[in-house]
Amino acid sequence: MSEYSSLLSDLSENITNEDLEQLKSACKEDITEDQSNTITSSREWFSYLEKNDKLAQDNLSYIEHIFEISRRPDLLTRVIEYRTTVLKISEDDEIDTKLTRIPSAKKYKDIIRQPSEDEIIKLAPPPKKA
């Protein structure tokens, strides 16, 4: 079994039917309701994503995004671990490729900073009650 197949198998084992419904809901823009109703297992979901070019051995960004918005850090961590150990791709190495999804906050890391003393707006204290 390839490491990619092993990853999908591991992820499948950790996705319950309830989780699957949440994951399908998270990608409702890409899966029609009729198609969604035919998907009854996580393996079928992965297969559907592969057939529709949303998932491949070297393209995990879509499921990273879905796991992130579905609040499944455990699954996201497994995908990132696969990407960094097997594909040898870290977020810092490959920021602008299809292989890497940048978590929301990292997009703004250069913009977000503490303001300098000159930039801080000082407010007057509230007026005292008479």
Q: Which domain CATH number covers 18?
A: 1.10.533.10
Which pLDDT does position 113 carry in this prediction?
55
Asked if the structure places residue 123 within a domain, the reply is no
Asked if the structure places residue 107 within a domain, the reply is no
Kindly tell me if the per-residue pLDDT of 6 is higher than 60: yes
User: Which residue intervals of 14-55 are DSSP H helices?
Assistant: 17-26, 33-38, 42-51
Asked if the structure places residue 18 within a domain, the reply is yes
Asked if the structure places residue 117 within a domain, the reply is no
Question: Domains in the chain: how many in total?
Answer: 1
* Percent over 90 (pLDDT), the chain: 0
Contacts (Cβ under 8 Å, ≥6 apart) of 12: 41, 42, 43, 46
45: tokens are 């979901």
Region label for 128, one of left (φ > 0), alpha (ψ between -120 and 50) or beta (otherwise) = beta
Q: Which of 41-50, 64-73, 74-83, 95-104 has the lowest mean pLDDT?
A: 95-104
Single out the residue of 7, 23, 4, 5 nearest to residue 15, CA to CA: 23
Does the pTM exceed 0.75? no
Asked if the structure places residue 103 within a domain, the reply is no
Which pLDDT does position 89 carry in this prediction?
67
Asked if the structure places residue 52 within a domain, the reply is yes
**Structural domain of residue 81, as residue ranges?**
3-88
Asked if the structure places residue 44 within a domain, the reply is yes
Asked if the structure places residue 68 within a domain, the reply is yes
